Amino acid sequence: MESRREDSSYGRVTRRELIKLAPIAALGAFAVPALQPALLGSGLAFTDWAAARWFRRTHLAPTFAHSEVVAPERFPFNSYAGPDPGIDLDAWRLRVDGLVANPGAYTLEQIRALPRVRQNTRHVCVEGWDVIGSFGGARISDVLALVGADTSARYLSFTCADEYYESLDMATALHPQSLACYEMYESPLERGHGAPLRLSLPTKIGYKSAKYLTTLTVTNVLQGRGYWEDQGYGWFYGL
């Protein structure tokens, strides 16, 4: 009997020691170059999985008083391929396809005719800076209603005039603060900020708020997750 108790005790100690050693083992695995991509990919996948399950459409990002908003000239221009991809604003259309009842090319006037939302929210850049700005536009949920989108679909996929591309999960798209943004500081978007239409997503990191939108696809299958995500950055990246 005593021998069995000693064996059981030894087993418990071993499990505790293994738990203690797990972080060291993980660090050791990261030291092996061949294992690094798989480990990083697994870590990002787990982070996205956990963040998506934590996300709640009823949980709002902070909003701020007008006195807390940074002056327009202090809101950085930060874009993928320069401040102006040369869009003909008069001819611009948002082309919508995929799992929608009303595919087609939508004008800015059609989007502006939807209920307008203005909100002062924080834009957080992955480079380490953040600013509070004033954004206005239509809720993405209202745009989806306009085009007859199947909101049981999993994703929205966007392409942009500067060859950037991005995607969202449907829950984020339906969040009440997620905007198809056509104005900042109660004025039409400047070209450097993504005119004529961009995303404004205060629940997400900045690179999710794609500029210069040209297409919107409602889908269950992503061809590309996003420009930065396909280079190893997090996809869900909630704040």
Q: What tokens were used for 169?
A: 């999960």
∠ CA 62-81-181 to the nearest 5 degrees? 35
Q: Are 140 and 178 in contact (CB under 8 A)?
A: yes
Helix 36-54 to helix 2-30 angle (10° resolution) is 100
Percent of the chain with pLDDT over 70: 75
Q: Are 52 and 169 in contact (CB under 8 A)?
A: yes
Highest mean pLDDT among 53-67, 69-83, 151-165: 151-165
Q: For the purposes of burial, counting CB atoms within 10 Å of the CB of 193, is it exposed (0-12), middle (13-18) or buried (19 or more)?
A: buried
Residue 150 confidence class, pLDDT cut points 50, 70, 90: very high
Predicted pLDDT of residue 58 = 80
Predicted pLDDT of residue 26 = 45
Predicted pLDDT of residue 204 = 96
Residue 48 confidence class, pLDDT cut points 50, 70, 90: low
Is 188 strand, coil or helix?
strand
Q: What tokens were used for 58?
A: 């009823």
Residue 29 has pLDDT above 60, yes or no: no
Q: What tokens were used for 72?
A: 């327009």
Start-to-end Cα distance in the chain: 55
Distance of alpha carbon 144 from alpha carbon 161, whole angstroms: 21
